[in-house]
């Protein structure tokens, strides 16, 4: 039986049976397979709304970046530990993250 192990594009969890989102094409774990669970670009409003100047916007962005860095560090650590560094997956993961801000 063929098994494809991937990292969830949302939380980075290693998933043996990943779900591929038909909206954005990324792979996700069971918990984040639904578009609304991984903040899918497919369900975003097509018109770019101006972000309301709410307080905490920057903090949320920083928190997101921090989570990403921690996840990336953990992923790199795990990959290095198991000696299964998959650069392609890593690049895809980073691209998916960057796409959120472009
Ligand atoms: Zn996940
Ligand atoms: Zn999606």
Q: Which ligand is nearest to the CA of 6?
A: 1
Predicted local confidence at residue 42, as pLDDT = 87
Q: Which ligand is nearest to the CA of 18?
A: 1
Q: Cα(3) to centroid of ligand 1, in Å?
A: 18
Per-residue pLDDT of the chain (102 residues; tens, 9 = 90+): 556 799 999 999 999 989 999 999 999 999 999 999 999 998 876 655 666 666 678 888 899 999 999 988 887 787 777 776 666 777 888 788 888 877
Ranges of each domain in the chain: 6-44+53-99
DSSP 20-47: EPTTT--EE-GGG-SGGGTT-GGGS-SS
Assign 28 to helix, strand or coil: strand
Predicted local confidence at residue 52, as pLDDT = 62
Q: Cα(54) to centroid of ligand 1, in Å?
A: 28
CATH number of this structure's domain 6-44+53-99: 4.10.1110
Q: Cα(7) to centroid of ligand 2, in Å?
A: 14
Predicted local confidence at residue 95, as pLDDT = 86
């Amino acid at each position: 039986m063929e098994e494809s192990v991937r990292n969830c594009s949302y939380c980075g969890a290693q998933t043996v049976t990943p779900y591929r989102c038909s909206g954005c094409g990324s792979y996700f774990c069971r918990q984040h397979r639904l578009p609304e669970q991984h903040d899918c670009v497919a369900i975003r409003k097509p018109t770019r709304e101006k972000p309301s100047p709410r307080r905490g916007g920057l903090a949320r962005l920083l928190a997101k970046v921090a989570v990403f860095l921690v996840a990336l560090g953990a992923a790199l650590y795990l990959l290095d530990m198991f000696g299964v560094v998959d650069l392609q997956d890593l690049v895809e993961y980073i691209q998916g993250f960057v796409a959120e801000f472009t």
